[in-house]
Amino acid sequence: MGQHSLIEWTDDTWNPLRGCSRVSEGCRNCYAERTAIRQVRSRYAGLVKSTPNGPRWTGEVGFVEEVLKHPLRWKSPRKIFVNSMSDLYHEKVTDEWRHRIYAVMEQASRHTFQILTKRPERMQTYLAERYGETRIPPRHIWHGVSVENQAAVDERIPRLLETPAAVRFLSIEPLLGPISDLPLDGIHWVIVGGESGPRHRPVQADWVRDIRDQCARAGVAFFFKQWGGRTPKAGGRVLDGVEWSEFPSRPA
């Protein structure tokens, strides 16, 4: 069965991997850690632990054999967020696991797969090895990076831009500060969202407007996911009277 997603920019999530570790400020209040700690006995034993400052990933990652082939069983085309509870390019993920996951995605071409990572250098290396330096991955597999501030933008987006892909996208969630210089030449889609949860850090409207306006000037699809707050839906997702829900065109 698919796990119908409440994430506004996708239809379902698919988690053939579980577990992760923090790499930057955007991970401080990771929603996946909070989700995992509630299921630790059944699914996440050894992958997440309780600490005085809240749940933390242990840094271990597990492969979930029983869900690997689920997309092959889903008959209706859908957008699928890959590994919402992990990172396909985590250091503990083996190339064998990635080979098996990509094989399923390549076969299930009726769907659109959305992959996000905070480790774009590993993604760049793997895709070059799998598809060659000049050949792009299948057009129904989209590749993106998560960034949270200008420092993360400067570090991660150049690697994404060097990675051959039919659709490249950015998830700027949680947005933690102004981003005045967003390199968008070669980017097809930008998602922006404020942080949610009991320790959320507020987002400022002008930060979101600036990114929206940069996307408009560059002709890049813009999706505003949420203002955030104590819960993801607390602040809604209306910016200047509009729900921004643009998607890139799926390449033919």
- Could you read off the pLDDT tens digit of each residue along the chain, which spans 252 residues? 445 788 999 999 999 999 999 999 999 999 999 999 999 877 899 999 999 999 999 999 999 999 999 999 999 999 999 999 999 999 999 999 999 999 999 999 999 999 999 999 999 999 999 998 778 999 999 999 999 999 999 999 999 999 999 999 999 999 999 999 999 999 999 999 999 999 999 999 999 999 999 999 999 999 999 999 999 999 999 999 999 999 998 776
Burial of 42 per CB tally in 10 Å (0-12, 13-18, 19+): exposed
Query: Comparing C-alpha atoms, which of 197, 154, 190, 138 is closest to residue 24?
Result: 154
Pick the CATH number of 3-243 from 3.20.20, 3.30.70, 1.10.3470, 3.40.50: 3.20.20
**Is the N-terminal amide bond of 251 cis, ω within 30° of 0?**
no
**C-alpha–C-alpha distance, residues 35 and 19, integer Å:** 11
Q: DSSP 3-state assignment of 145? A: strand
**For 56, phi and psi rounded to 5 degrees?**
-140, 140
How far, rounded to the nearest angstrom, does the alpha carbon of residue 64 sit from its chain's CA centroid? 19
The answer to whether residues 190 and 211 touch, using CB atoms and an 8 Å cutoff, is: yes
23, 28, 34, 133: which is closest to 87 by C-alpha? 23
Is the pTM of the predicted complex or chain greater than 0.75?
A: yes
Asked if 232 and 211 count as a contact pair (C-beta separation under 8 A), the reply is: no
